[in-house]
Amino acid sequence: MATTTPPVAIVMGSQSDWATMRHCADTLKHLGIAHEVKIGSAHRTPSRLYEFARGAKDEGFQIIIAAAGGAAHLPGMAAAMTPLPVFGVPIRSKALKGMDSLLSIVQMPKGVPVGTLAIGEAGAVNAALLSASVLALNDDKIASALDAFRAEQTAAVALTPTDT
Ligand code: RP5
């Protein structure tokens, strides 16, 4: 049976990142966006990361979401090796609460961009939504799903607070 490459690849540095990145995958799924999830570390499995990032465009991926914590070199290394857009998610680290992850992902040198999201779950979800916005430019189904998501989100905000 022929397999089709999904538009989005999620790559993360460790199994321990999955607790955060599953929110990204869930959001993509909610919007009907097919995706693949891989573990590939800039430090522990550099060859695996190299092969993935080098081949991602030819494989048919359109967007890479890369998540890492601590000395978070994964998103930047991926961006250096692919022309695809790379969105970086800083994982909330134990030692520095994700500030290390954030700064090492966001402070890319001029010429090699990584679209950096917020630390932790918010960044994971927003990476999925940002990917959806990009894909929606050429996909009416995704555009409708994104509109519906936003409408639901708006409808869920009460006009006045309740005592809970
Ligand atoms: C990074 O080191 C990973 O992205 C992860 O956030 C962090 C800690 O990894 P583990 O020690 O939990 O495997 O490479």
Centroid of chain to Cα 45 = 19
Please tell me the residue having the least CA distance from ligand 1 atom 5.
Answer: 69
Residues framing ligand 1 (Cβ under 6 A) = 12-14, 16-17, 41, 68-70, 91
Please tell me the residue having the least CA distance from ligand 1 atom 13.
Answer: 14
Q: Give me ligand 1 centre to Cα 13, in Å.
A: 6
DSSP 33: -
**Are residues 10 and 86 in contact, defined by beta-carbon separation less than 8 angstroms?**
no
Cα separation of 75 and 77, whole Å? Answer: 6
User: Per residue in 106-160, pLDDT tens?
Assistant: 999 999 999 999 999 999 999 999 999 999 999 999 999 999 999 999 999 999 9
pTM here?
Answer: 0.97
User: Per residue in 51-72, pLDDT tens?
Assistant: 999 999 999 999 999 999 999 9
User: Per residue in 11-64, pLDDT tens?
Assistant: 999 999 999 999 999 999 999 999 999 999 999 999 999 999 999 999 999 999
Residue 17's alpha-carbon distances to 23, 39, 71, in angstroms, are 11, 9, 14
Specify the higher pLDDT residue, 164 or 131. 131
Residue pointed to by tokens 């680290």: 93
Cα separation of 49 and 55, whole Å? Answer: 10
Q: Which atom of ligand 1 is nearest to the CA of 67?
A: 4
Please tell me the residue having the least CA distance from ligand 1 atom 2.
Answer: 69
pLDDT of residue 1: 52
Please tell me the residue having the least CA distance from ligand 1 atom 6.
Answer: 69
